[in-house]
Amino acid sequence: MQEQETFTPKGAWAFALLFLVLLVLIWGTVYYLLVSQGPTV
């Protein structure tokens, strides 16, 4: 009887988490810049 190995790609989760964090930081910076400028019209 062979043991069945379950393959869990930990690197993919780390990459997805890093991508999500960078995305939030970038959009947070854009949002902050827009709010700090105020209405320009």
* Core vs surface per residue 1-15: b (16+ CB within 10 A) or e: eeeeeeeeeeeeeee
What pLDDT score does 20 carry?
A: 98
Q: List the helix and strand counts (H, then E) for the chain.
A: 1, 0
- Model-level pTM? 0.61
Strand runs labelled E in 1-41: none
What pLDDT score does 2 carry?
A: 52
pLDDT, tens digit, 9 for 90 and up, residues 1-41: 455 667 777 888 999 999 999 999 999 999 999 999 887 66
Residue 38, phi then psi, degrees to nearest 5: 80, 180
What pLDDT score does 27 carry?
A: 98
